[in-house]
Amino acid sequence: MEDVICLAIETSCDETSMSLVKNGVEDLATVVFSQIDIHKAFGGVVPEIASRSHIESITYVLDELFRKTAVTLDDVDIIGVTYGPGLIGSLLIGVQVAKTISLITNKPLIPVHHIAGHIYANNLENRLKFPLIALVVSGGHTDLIYMKKDYSFERIGSTLDDAVGEAYDKVAKVLGLSYPGGPKIDDLSIKGEDTYNLPYPLDDDSYNFSFSGLKSAVLNTVNKEKQKHHEIRVADMCCSFQNRVVEILTKKTMRAISEYKVKNLIVAGGVSANNGLRHKFSILCKENKIKLSIPKTKYCTDNATMIGAAAYYAYKNNIIADLSLNAKAVDNLYNDEILQPK
Amino acid sequence: MITLYIDTSMDDLTICLLKDEKILSKKTRKCKNEHSVYTVSYIKDVLDEVSMQPNDVDTIMVVNGPGSFTGLRIGVSVAKTYGYLLKKKVILVSSLRQMAISVKNQIAISLIDAKNGNYYMGIYDMFDNDVKYEKFASKDEVILQIEKYEDAKLISNKKFKIDDYEVEKVELDIEQIVDYYKNENPTNIHDIKPNYLKLPQVLEARE
């Protein structure tokens, strides 16, 4: 079979990333320009500033990408791009770049769902084995997905309010930890004890999640303690919060694994770098003889390599867009007609 | 010389292909929040209409502002990517100046509605080519300039009134615009960005 080289583009949030990926599994070259230092000053991603920054970096990122490899634009077979979900102003830039490259090269344009990218990041190290359950956890997503075969996604649960990473960042802010606060909570929670009486968020029979109640409970506790002039034990609060999050994520995921009778679990997205979550899943998967895959940290956060990994399978499934492809901010995409084979 | 002209700065999307200063093919449409859908497709259409390939274009002229932030970003990202990969010259066109060029009056005040009683304003004297200025201005500031330049023609992309002053709608004369800009120096592609003339809200609040 002939090799397929994908030029992949990801601009759904605050990373301008492009990558060249061969056959959906081999990372030939990747460039990630992170805007994190720009947004730090604002305590979170500012959409208008993210869009402005993307447009300033696109040609630099292209330039650096082709400097890193002997592959040229003529060698590229398909153009893969994240078309959603994400920040609309940011997505739009990647989509225009991808469409322009598709026009210039006359090569197929492959629309990639951001979550599909996170899942396929695993393919860069170990081939996905089906059927599987995937838990995608990041600053924008908390999705539980059942995959029967390659490039078939059935979302069985999702967050009803905040994404888990978003809850982490907001709790970190309340505790006076700088952005991005997720990793800081993770680090501090090891040093603390689970002493605060926080609720288990949406501990029900569904596969959905809810983190805003837990976040509010942290906020209320902090405010009450302040009123009483008590000091907040930050590490203990981090530990209590993280324990609730990890408990509910692992509990519902393990139940899905058992109900769907799968032997493979994928954990992906930025929050899959969380040590508490990794640790708990590795114990549970060992106990239950489940094969656990978590991508390398560099493929957990947003990057175009994972988009190239997914684009290959989308292409094999004949999912091809024309030049009228638009970006989509909202996540109604699992049933999106764009993802249907032509 | 083949020029590809891209204007996504306002509700009217215009894509045009020219040989020297003569229009070869042109596509335009009212496009509220849909520039993303049509811009690249229309470029393909104007090329296909005259059986040209993307590489046949020598120069890209892109309107880089001021105007709709999202619109500008769409035109500019397409022009940057196209120009960078095919090594084409990219020339930046002002949305305010191109209206002044199209009316051929000696002095023109170009206005674009910037919402909440504000305007993007450009003042031009077409005999001496100096831009008097281009800026983000309050209504009061605009009226002050209108009173100062009594002979100026008031123009915009749509017809409206600012107090008692009538502002005329301009039909863009793309051949004139391309003729005016053809000798401009191309901008280094990496440095190209929209000319927003306005900070993001979060930065404005800090000022």
Contacts of B25 by beta carbon, 8 Å cutoff, 6+ apart: B16, B17, B45, B46, B47, B49, B50
CB of B200 less than 8 A from some CB of A: yes
pLDDT score, position A116: 94
Residues 61-90 (B) with a CB less than 8 A from some CB of A: 69-70, 73-74, 76-78, 80-82, 84-86
- How far from B207 is each of A213, B202, B203, CA to CA, in Å? 35, 9, 7
User: Which fold, B2-94+173-206?
Assistant: Nucleotidyltransferase; domain 5 (3.30.420)
SS3 B50: coil
Domains within chain A, CATH numbers bracketed: 5-120+299-339 (3.30.420.40), 127-294 (3.30.420.40)
**Rounded to whole angstroms, how far apart are CA atoms B117 and B114?**
7
pLDDT score, position A282: 97
Query: A46 and B202 in contact by Cβ < 8 A?
Result: yes
Interface ipTM: 0.96
Closest among A164, A276, A172 to A232, alpha carbons compared: A172
Query: B44 and A323 in contact by Cβ < 8 A?
Result: yes
pLDDT score, position A41: 85
Residues facing residue A10 across a β-bridge:
A17
**Rounded to whole angstroms, how far apart are CA atoms B55 and A263?**
51
- Evaluate if pTM is beyond 0.80: yes
Residue matched to tokens 């992309």: B157
**Rounded to whole angstroms, how far apart are CA atoms A171 and A242?**
10
CB of A62 less than 8 A from some CB of B: yes
Domains B2-94+173-206 and B96-169 share a fold: yes
Positions of chain B with pLDDT lower than 50, given as ranges: none
Q: Kindly list the domain boundaries of chain B, sorted by start residue.
A: 2-94+173-206, 96-169
Chain B closest-CA separation from residue A71 CA (Å): 14
Judge: domain B96-169, CATH 3.30.420: yes
Give the N- to C-terminal CA distance of chain B in Å, as an integer: 45
**Rounded to whole angstroms, how far apart are CA atoms B40 and A274?**
41
Q: Are strands A5-10 and A78-84 parallel, antiparallel or unpaired?
A: parallel
Q: What is the pLDDT of residues B2-58, one digit of tens each?
A: 999 999 999 999 999 999 999 999 999 998 889 999 999 999 999 999 999 999 999
Residues of B in contact with A56 (CB under 8 A): 193
What length is written for chain B? 207
Per-residue model confidence as pLDDT tens for chain A (342 residues): 789 999 999 999 999 999 999 999 999 999 999 998 888 888 888 999 999 999 999 999 999 999 999 999 999 999 999 999 999 999 999 999 999 999 999 999 999 999 999 999 999 998 999 999 999 999 888 999 999 999 999 999 999 999 999 999 999 999 999 888 999 999 999 999 999 999 999 999 999 999 999 999 999 999 999 999 999 999 999 999 999 999 999 999 999 999 999 999 999 999 999 999 999 999 999 999 999 999 988 898 899 999 999 999 999 999 999 999 999 987 655 555 555 555
pLDDT score, position A329: 87
Query: B84 and A62 in contact by Cβ < 8 A?
Result: yes
Q: Residue B177's CB: how many other CB atoms inside 10 A?
A: 25
